[in-house]
Structure formats: structure tokens, C-alpha cells
Structure 1
């Protein structure tokens, strides 16, 4: 069964939207009628979408990109904080501090930076949907991904806190926490690591980016009006709570 939504007249921003999960979300939003703006540090053209070069850790780049989005009195209806950096798969004591600082910078501080600038626009309209992409790592703490786990846990806590701050409006803030999804990000870890991930999953496979996107679109729709501050697993049964 194919589930469809009507996002006609809605403006959506997808960070990290040029590849993987972000691209799948951007495509499905476009197919549902949304005006999609992709913010990516290394953008790739996508027919039907506006693609801007934005490093989510740079406040001035976000400000400039946002000015273009809000031209002609556009509202911001949907923000998908998807930009992420996994980093190396290794023990924490082997990490160079500059790498874990980048992991935290992109995955957590980037969510702060984007949301901090977009939220006043949503507050003015008293409506909007914010979906923060976390990770199974943020719920369970995965070995050899300590910094990524910590950043993802921060995204989860931030989602819960912010949702309560805006609960007097029609702004809904939720988090999706995928387990291993079949993307270039995961495949770069190597076959041995990927096979271990598959074997640890009750469904014995990686998820697909389109499966994650389908959940995200539901959270952006009116069908999800009573969900806020929630964390939705996308782990094939691997998550234990």
C-alpha cells in the first residue's frame, strides 16, 4: 500500500539533503507537493529542489540561506535536521579530538544552529514541524562510535526539551532514531562492520532510506498532530527500549 500526503503550499528545509536519508526525504517531500530547499555542505543538483551550500555549523551561512528561503514572505513549515557526520569507527582513546569535535559539531551543534534561526519564524506563524534525525547509537551507546553516540543522545534530549517549550503552539518537534540504514555513510564502514550490524538486527537486514523517509513524512503531516517530543525507532527491532 502506498501512503501519500499533500504538502502543497508547504516550504520544507532538509539539511544534508543531497545524499542518503536526506535525499530520500527531500524527494518524497517534493513528490508530495512541498517546495523543498536542500542545505548541504557539498550539494548535488536535484531536479525540482532548491540546493544551497550550507555548513550547518556556520551561523552566517544559515542566516544567508534562510534569507533566500523566506524571500517573498515564504513561511517555514517543515525543517528536517538531517545533516550528519559519522566519523571513524574506532575506540574513543584512538580518536583525535578534532574528529570528535567535528562529530559533535555537525550532529548536535548543527541542529542547535539551524533550529535557533528557524524557530522564531515558526513561532511567528505558531505552527510547523521539526524532525531531528538522531540514531540508535544515541539510545544505546554503541562501541567504537562513542562521540557519535553522545551527539545523538544530545539530539534526543534536545528534541524532548524543545517540544515542551513550544507546546503552546502548533509546532511539533520529534526525533527519528534509525539503526543501520543502507547508505554510503554505513557502507564506508566496510563489509565486516556492516555484516555485524545485519547480524545484530532481528530482521537480518539494513533498512532503506525510503523507509526512513516514509516515517519522517508522516511526522510532518497533520496525521501526526498529537506526537511531539517523541523518539521513533527505525532499527528493524534492534532497539531495546
Structure 2
């Protein structure tokens, strides 16, 4: 695991109750950070430097209430990790409300929170943001129609912000995970695990990644060593997208 000192810094993580987000929470706590988590589920750990907020990202009004009631000026690092899948459904196998739901959680909630956090970062000329994109932000087939659209939108949002606010010393990038073994993908391992085995076989490195591998990549992107990396998508997919 990459080691950095985040003592005195506040790291705000969405989706920190499980999967990649939980791995990020544990990692940054180990490195001395004060960690805030936003999730609709309870975070399965307690720590004196951990504060958890229970908010459903599908509820735009709930996010607005959270923003209005919380001092977000202390955030040094924003890790937008929360997201949902769409069952890999093509457009005509879904409906508009379902698409709206995926877009709200995977894109519009991200925008809501960013617009609340970014102004103080710009004022202070200091801040780091890492968005959790997906291989579906680059290619089709990493999700269904709604998920792919949301992640493409997220990637465009990240790139434009990185360009616009680089002069303000705001460090912005994204990560594109491929097959990461998390609770979100649990269905792939149920029964005889045929789907999970199939995905591993189709991945050039022949395995799924762990959530910790993504957390470690996040640490690199938020570290001083990555300050010249701006507006980039770090792909962690075992070679999936080079095929």
C-alpha cells in the first residue's frame, strides 16, 4: 500500500460504506486523515477521526439539505466514489424513470456536491478531487445505456473542471475501474460463480482486482507526486480496454 501523511487534512468520500469507498476510508484513516463519509448505508467501522453522514444520493433534496446544514469549507480532498449499476440493460429494456435514477446517483449528485465543495477550494487555491468513473466512461459494454451515458458525462465534467480550475491549483482527475470485486458486483459470484469466472477469463490479466488496488491508485492521485497529473483518467482494468 502506498503511504502518505494526511494528518490535518479532511478527506470527504461518497460511497464509503462498502467496496472501493470503504477501502478508501480505511486507507486514508491509516494515513492520518480526518475522514467524512456520505452514504445511504451505515459505515461498518468506528474511528475517532471518522464522521459518517447518512444521505441517499438518489434524493436531490436530501443532498441539498445536507449541503445547507454542513460546513464543507474544511474539505481538502473530495473522493466521489459512490455509484450504482443499471443491470447492463440496453435502452429499450429500461425506462425513463430508471435512466433518471441512474443519472441522479452517478452524475447529478456528483455535480451537486462538487458545486458545493469547489468554491472554497478555489478561494483557498487548494484542493484535490478524484471522480470514480468506469471503463464505461470510455467504451460501450462496461454497463448498460444509462450507466454508460452517466459515466461518459462524468468524464466530460471532470475534464472541463480540470481545465477550468487548474489555474486555481485545484487538482482534478478520475479513475476508471474495470472488474473490481466489490458488493456491487456480488451477483457475478453467486451460485457457481460462472459470470465472475467468465469476466476474469475475458480480462487479459485473468483476474478481478481488489478494492484496495483502486484505493491505492487513489492515494497516488491525491499525493504530491501526482501534482502534474491533471484532467486524466487512470484506467485500472487489467487490460480490458486494450483488447
Q: Deviations over 1:115-139 (max 9, x none)?
A: 0111012112111100000001111
Q: What is residue 205 of structure 2 aligned with on the other side?
A: 203
Q: Distance in 1 between matches of 2:40 and 2:3?
A: 30
Q: Distance in 1 between matches of 2:139 and 2:116?
A: 30
Q: Distance in 2 between matches of 1:147 and 1:214?
A: 28
| TM-fit CA distance, 1:68 | 6.2
* Equivalent position SS for 2:131: strand
* Equivalent position SS for 1:130: strand
* Equivalent position SS for 2:5: coil
Q: What is residue 50 of structure 1 aligned with on the other side?
A: 51
Q: What is residue 14 of structure 2 aligned with on the other side?
A: 15
Q: Distance in 2 between matches of 1:12 and 1:176?
A: 17
Q: CA RMSD in A?
A: 2.0
Q: Distance in 1 between matches of 2:169 and 2:45?
A: 30
Contact kept? 2:136, 2:143, Cα under 8 Å:
no
| TM-fit CA distance, 1:238 | 1.1
| TM-fit CA distance, 1:46 | 2.3
TM-aligned CA distance change 1:143 to 1:179, over 3 Å: closer
Does the alignment pair 1:135 with 2:137? no
> Which of 196-205 and 229-238 deviates more?
196-205
Matched pairs, number: 238
Q: Distance in 1 between matches of 2:128 and 2:182?
A: 25
Matches within 5 A, 1:67-82: 70=71, 75-82=74-81
Q: Distance in 1 between matches of 2:59 and 2:186?
A: 28
Contact kept? 2:58, 2:105, Cα under 8 Å:
yes
TM-aligned CA distance change 1:143 to 1:155, over 3 Å: closer
| TM-fit CA distance, 1:53 | 1.0
| TM-fit CA distance, 1:213 | 0.1
Q: Distance in 2 between matches of 1:69 and 1:111?
A: 16
Q: Deviations over 1:182-217 (max 9, x none)?
A: 011112245343233212110111110000000001
Q: What is residue 144 of structure 2 aligned with on the other side?
A: 145
Q: Deviations over 1:137-183 (max 9, x none)?
A: 11111176221111111111111100011011221110000001001
Q: Distance in 1 between matches of 2:214 and 2:142?
A: 24
Moved over 6 A (4+): none
Give TM-score scaled by structure 2 length. 0.91
| TM-fit CA distance, 1:57 | 4.5
Contact kept? 2:2, 2:219, Cα under 8 Å:
no
| TM-fit CA distance, 1:35 | 0.4
> Which of 2-11 and 59-68 deviates more?
59-68
Q: What is residue 194 of structure 1 aligned with on the other side?
A: 196
Contact kept? 1:63, 1:117, Cα under 8 Å:
no
> Which of 190-199 and 95-104 deviates more?
190-199
Does the alignment pair 1:184 with 2:183? yes
* Equivalent position SS for 1:229: coil
Contact kept? 2:77, 2:127, Cα under 8 Å:
yes
